[in-house]
């Protein structure tokens, strides 16, 4: 159990809802994952007209908490306007804030991101910013009022896992009271487990499940990996060593000589 803006969440797996072969497959995957929070793109679904209306009905039927996002926005002004529209549509102050720098990597545009985060936080939003693993950007987002950070693992839809592991490790100890969610780039359950073992609070993913051969089984796999990784972090993982350390030491162990008995 952890908290996002005062809301207790049991599942540490958050799911995107794009790219599924059918609405029924999306429903099954969400249910199999146990995810309590799903993200939706206001722009994408609004553009699909009648199909979008059916999508909203499906999300309501699932009974999950909706996290609208500002996917596709390239400026702070554009993201702010989209967030305000999402609040009116969904009746929630939660917003996954995305300001994109370029189309090739979908890397966050960190200057516009911080600008938009400051304005939206001042306007009463609960901002979950999609950002890089750069610690200086994280500090600016926290200073702008963000109580959650969502660094990317790899570029969106390029499932390579944690691309820069040494830069990810310091985040949890430096921001011990800020929920950290790895967002984007996780392609296998082992990637999710690795993030959780580092002390991250949750992961958010879409493509790795939606485009899997069997999205329902993959959703279950990620759910178990996230749980296992978190349990390992809480238990305390044994640090690696350069030298062997016998599990049954012989130093100080008595040895008994048995003479041959004829």
Please check if 206 is assigned to a binding site. yes
Q: Could you say which of 50, 65, 77, 96 is catalytic?
A: 96
Predicted local distance difference test score (pLDDT) of residue 49: 40
In terms of residues, how long is the chain?
262
| pLDDT tens digits, 35-53 | 999 999 876 544 444 445 5
pTM of the model: 0.85
**Which of these, 94, 200, 197, 207, lies nearest to 160 by C-alpha position?**
207
Predicted local distance difference test score (pLDDT) of residue 244: 72
Please check if 207 is assigned to a binding site. yes
Helices (H), 91-214: 110-122, 135-143, 165-168, 171-174, 189-197, 207-210
Residue 232 pLDDT class (50, 70, 90 cuts)? very high
| pLDDT tens digits, 12-39 | 999 999 889 998 999 999 999 999 999 9
User: SS3 for 43?
Assistant: helix
| 60 close to 89: Cβ distance less than 8 angstroms | no
Q: 62: which 2 tokens?
A: 């699932």
* 65 tagged catalytic: no
Which range (48-52, 56-60, 124-128, 144-148) has the least confidence?
Answer: 48-52
Q: Which domains does the chain have, with CATH numbers?
A: 2-235 (3.20.20.70)
Mean pLDDT of 230-238: 94
- Report d(CA 153, CA 133) in Å as an integer: 8
Mean pLDDT of 146-173: 78
Cα angle value 255/256/262 (rounded, 5°): 150
**Which of these, 233, 237, 206, lies nearest to 41 by C-alpha position?**
206
Of 45 and 245, the one with more pLDDT: 245
| pLDDT tens digits, 195-210 | 999 999 999 999 999 9
Please check if 121 is assigned to a binding site. no
Please check if 144 is assigned to a binding site. no
**How many helical (H) and strand (E) elements, i.e. helices and strands, does the chain have?**
11, 10
- The answer to whether residue 117 scores a pLDDT higher than 60 is yes
Q: How many percent of the chain have pLDDT more than 70?
A: 84
């Amino acid at each position: 159990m952890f908290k996002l803006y005062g809301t207790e969440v049991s599942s540490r797996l958050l799911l995107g809802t794009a790219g599924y072969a059918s609405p029924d497959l999306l429903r099954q995957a969400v249910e199999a994952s146990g995810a309590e929070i799903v993200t939706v793109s206001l722009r994408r679904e609004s553009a699909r007209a009648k199909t979008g209306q059916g999508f909203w009905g499906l999300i309501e039927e699932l009974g999950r908490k909706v996290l609208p996002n500002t996917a596709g926005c390239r400026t702070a002004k554009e993201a702010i306007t989209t967030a305000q529209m999402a609040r009116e549509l969904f009746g929630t102050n939660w917003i996954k804030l995305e300001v994109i720098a370029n189309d090739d990597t979908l890397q966050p545009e960190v200057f516009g991101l911080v600008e938009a985060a400051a304005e939206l936080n001042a306007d009463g939003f609960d901002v979950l910013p999609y950002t890089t693993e750069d610690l200086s950007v994280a500090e600016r987002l926290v200073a702008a009022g963000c109580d959650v950070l969502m660094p990317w693992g790899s570029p969106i839809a390029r499932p390579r896992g944690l691309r820069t592991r040494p830069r990810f490790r310091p985040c949890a100890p430096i921001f011990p009271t800020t929920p950290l969610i790895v967002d984007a780039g996780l392609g296998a359950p082992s990637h999710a487990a690795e993030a959780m073992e580092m002390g991250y609070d949750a992961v958010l993913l879409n493509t790795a499940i939606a485009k899997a051969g069997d999205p329902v089984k993959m959703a279950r796999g990620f759910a178990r990996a996230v749980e296992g990784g978190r349990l390992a972090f809480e238990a305390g993982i044994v640090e690696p060593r350069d030298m062997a350390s016998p599990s049954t030491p012989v130093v100080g162990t008595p040895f008994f000589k048995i003479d041959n008995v004829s």
